[in-house]
Amino acid sequence: MRRLVTLILCITVVFPVFAKNDKDRDEISIVYGQATVPQFAYVMGEVFGAMFSLGHASFENPHMFGAAGLEYVHYVNDWLGFGGAVMCDYMSATTVSVDKDGNKTPNGQFKLGCLSTMPLVKFAWLNRERVGLYSKVAAGAGYFFANGGDAKDNFSVAFQLTPVGVDFGGEQFRGFVEAGIGMQGIVSGGVRWFF
């Protein structure tokens, strides 16, 4: 695993330095997404927690704040770019104990967050003056941190697979929407600056 991460980082950092790019194009994106992998893990934790406690514990008032972060891409030619993304995802809920009569007693707040960093590869399929169509793949590491409950802080694999992304706007600033799965969510979007 360590060798794979080292290889991905070397490709991400070293290859773009030696590649010739006549247009020398870079981009920075501010990203926000929903329906992320950490949110899915959080929901599954609620389901299994209630199931294994035989209905005597539950979560109430869940808040899924979504994933927000930054992404950088350097294009080595008109259709291929390398870069990285940093994302933060956060969610919280009230933990509740339920007695045999159905009375609920709040136990406190359970909070779960995930900070992930991922090298990425981006493929631009269509690159016009006002619109672009692309795909991207990212893989790296995520740090899950919890406050409350039996959850422990730990590291995990972080990824994003985006088969379809569309950006639109001007030559320098564009908005974008993406459909995929991973740390940026099933649906994500934001603004992008080309320089």
Contact of 189 with 168, CB cutoff 8 Å: no
- Write down the mean pLDDT value for the chain: 84
Domain ranges of the chain: 2-194
Global pTM reads 0.78
The mean per-residue pLDDT over the stretch 78-106 comes to 86
What's domain 2-194's architecture?
Beta Barrel (2.40)
Amino acid letter, 97: S
**Tens of pLDDT, residues 121-163:** 999 999 888 999 999 999 999 998 887 655 677 899 999 999 9
Most confident of the following: 23-27, 48-52, 162-166, 170-174? 162-166
The mean per-residue pLDDT over the stretch 100-108 comes to 76
The mean per-residue pLDDT over the stretch 15-34 comes to 73
User: Helix (H, G, I), strand (E, B), or coil: what is residue 162?
Assistant: strand
Which residues fall within 8 angstroms of residue 7, CB to CB, at 6 or more apart? Answer: none
Q: Which long-range CB contacts under 8 A does 134-140 form with residues at least 24 apart?
A: 134/165, 134/166, 134/167, 135/162, 135/163, 135/164, 135/165, 136/160, 136/162, 136/165, 136/180, 137/161, 137/162, 138/84, 138/85, 138/182, 138/183, 139/8, 140/5, 140/8, 140/84, 140/116
Contact of 166 with 132, CB cutoff 8 Å: yes
